[in-house]
Structure 1
């Protein structure tokens, strides 16, 4: 068998039964919290009719495999405490995932205000210390720009470094 025929075989889509697709989507949600948009995107891979999509989506919601608030809270915690993103960057990424603004605002209580302040201060001190070749003003501006780039708010940065 030549390379072209192997490539062609690997490009063929395998067909699944409704129950197999449903189970694959359950596994997809169990592996990691997902938002509605991610599940809908995954469903597109299976070329389902609208009624089947709705039925599976309702099943995932009813059985609590899919929970937008749980996803949002988990996402916020992970992006702040592991990736060290600020609220602005987290909010922007959640909006790209079509999470409602109201839900985003409700779930931001996952970030402790003191932890947020300490994270900014630590980030500021670490980045500032790396740029000894610049004068005081340039170091401060460059450091603030870096932290803004991580999604932190200007006012929060200023408040944290002035303490």
Structure 2
């Protein structure tokens, strides 16, 4: 087992500044990281406050970049993005703000492209099973059910 080294508050601050500068983080990730470094609760609070004051830690910015990234790179729907942000204890206000980062036209055209690509990969002949496979795929990715079912009517006669 690897020996756990002790960090001073200043060392931990510097380390976490780098951690947050590398990529936007949420409070939960930062607190988890500090706990892994075996920092005491008072030190964790002090470091988190420092990171917020110095703008290394900003939940609104994190939520916005998370939503943009998961939508544009992973092609996730809004439901999945919302659920993932809720698991990270992001406030309702920040989640709403984050979803505004996704353009409505891009959202629907991404759903079209994703559904078209997936339906071309499904080899199933039975139309009901084809529909189920496409629906399961899109729902798993977090697309709203009313959009998924409209798409199914359109793509699988």
Q: Same fold (TM over 0.5)?
A: yes
CA distance in structure 2 between the partners assigned to 1:145 and 1:20 by the alignment: 47
Match of 1:103 among 94, 98, 101: 94
Deviations 1:48-103 (A, max 9, x none): 23332222111100110000000000000010000111111111111111111232
5+ unaligned residues in a row in structure 2: which ranges?
none
The equivalent residue for 1:92 is 83
Deviations 1:126-162 (A, max 9, x none): 1111224413333233212211111101112234564
Instruction: Name whichever of 61-70 and 14-23 sits farther off.
Output: 14-23
Give the length in aligned residue pairs.
154
Match of 2:6 among 15, 18, 23: 15
The equivalent residue for 1:81 is 72
- How many angstroms does 1:111 deviate by? 0.8
The equivalent residue for 1:3 is none
CA distance in structure 1 between the partners assigned to 2:65 and 2:125 by the alignment: 39
The equivalent residue for 1:42 is 33
Question: What is the TM-score of this pair, normalised by structure 1?
Answer: 0.86
5+ unaligned residues in a row in structure 1: which ranges?
1-6
3-state SS of paired residue (1:146)? helix
The equivalent residue for 2:142 is 151
Whether the aligned pair in 2 keeps the contact of 1:35 and 1:66 (CA below 8 Å) is: yes
Structure showing greater radius of gyration is 1
The equivalent residue for 1:136 is 127
Question: What is the TM-score of this pair, normalised by structure 2?
Answer: 0.89
Matching of residue 66 in structure 1 with residue 36 in structure 2: no
How big is the alpha-carbon RMSD for the aligned residues of Structure 1 and Structure 2? 1.8
3-state SS of paired residue (1:59)? helix
3-state SS of paired residue (2:114)? helix
Distance 1:22 1:125, change over 3 A: same
